[in-house]
Amino acid sequence: MQVTTIGLDLAKNVFQVHGITDSGEVAFNRALRRAQVLAFFERLDPCLIGIEACSTSHYWARELFKLGHEVKPIPPVYVKPYVKRGKSDATDAAAICEAVTRPAMRFVEVKTPDQQAILALHRTRDLVVRQRTQTINMLRGQLAEFGVVFAQGVGHATQFAKRMLDGDCPDLPEVADVVVAELCEQLLFVHGKIAGYTRQMMRVAQREERVALLQTIPGVGPITASAIVATVGTGRQFGNGREFAAWLGLTPLNRSSGGKERLGRISKMGDQYIRRLLVIGMMSRMRQIIQNPERYDPWFADILARKPGKVAAVAMANKTARMVWAVLTRNEPYRVRTI
């Protein structure tokens, strides 16, 4: 019995495989322990394997590629409509097997180990940034109870922490003084970790050709560029720039019906981290455009004149995402269009 298509439901220890033949007959639907997975697929002739794009999916896709199989990761949201009544590993594997055969299905590009290494750097840095924010908020809240206030911003917080540890301490009770000193030490430690991760990202940006190409786009720096390259690779899994912007959640929700077009707020679906980086980059660029509007594309000055600042930043991020897709797929630097 020749198995042509398999749905593989990934897990930590117990995996589920659902295989069908060319005629659509179910060949098997069984559970496998983690140690049995590769040995099981080694015994099969090359076939099409569908998996959900989730944690560890890129590792398993690469391993199954080595065995000669064709592996297509699918976003979990696109698998859900194919799940029949009830929820179990067996029904999930059958749904993946059904979804991977659909001609209009959208798939995820398998990441290389280098891409995942860069993403690990980004995720760790993002975690430490959130820890720094939490520490600053805690430090500010504790000091406010004793009437001590320092200016907003990371720079002012770190300066206060350095002065505190150098002996320039406010008048606090002994117990509170110890707590605040420990918070200051923690703040300076995580601040140094962020700086170290940022330096690593700069080195990555210098080595990667595609990261350098993306930095030719105004408002896209090394951190944003490396995050995009590590996440989407070549970008060829998207048919056009609008699909990429929609994947980032930067396009309006479409609720049109009966020939009437109704567009709402942005969908906010997709990669939240890259979307946030693009919007932050555009908010930084807005300040440059406001100061020197004649040096920039009239479209940007017009959108700033008509829309509130944050709305304009999102619109600029949407347009920049389409530029990013064009640069990635064409593999050439961004060129300013001249009229």
pLDDT tens-digit profile of 140-167?
999 999 999 889 999 999 999 999 998 8
Give the tens place of pLDDT for each residue, 66-88.
999 999 999 999 999 999 888 89
Residue 148, burial from CB neighbour count under 10 angstroms (0-12, 13-18, 19+) = middle
* pLDDT at residue 303, as a whole number: 82
Handedness of CA 235, 304, 224, 249 (dihedral sign): negative
| 21, 194, 308, 330 from 235: Cα distances, Å | 32, 28, 31, 10
Distance (Å, whole) CA 81 – CA 74? 12
Is the model's pLDDT at 262 over the cut of 70? yes
Closest CA to 327 of 265, 238, 196: 238
- Rounded to two decimals, the pTM is 0.84
Tokens (6 digits) for 168: 């320039």
* pLDDT at residue 136, as a whole number: 96
* pLDDT at residue 55, as a whole number: 87
Give the tens place of pLDDT for each residue, 10-30.
999 999 999 999 888 999 999
The average pLDDT across 92-104 equals: 94
Is the model's pLDDT at 45 over the cut of 90? yes
* pLDDT at residue 339, as a whole number: 46
What residues form DSSP beta bridges with 9? 16
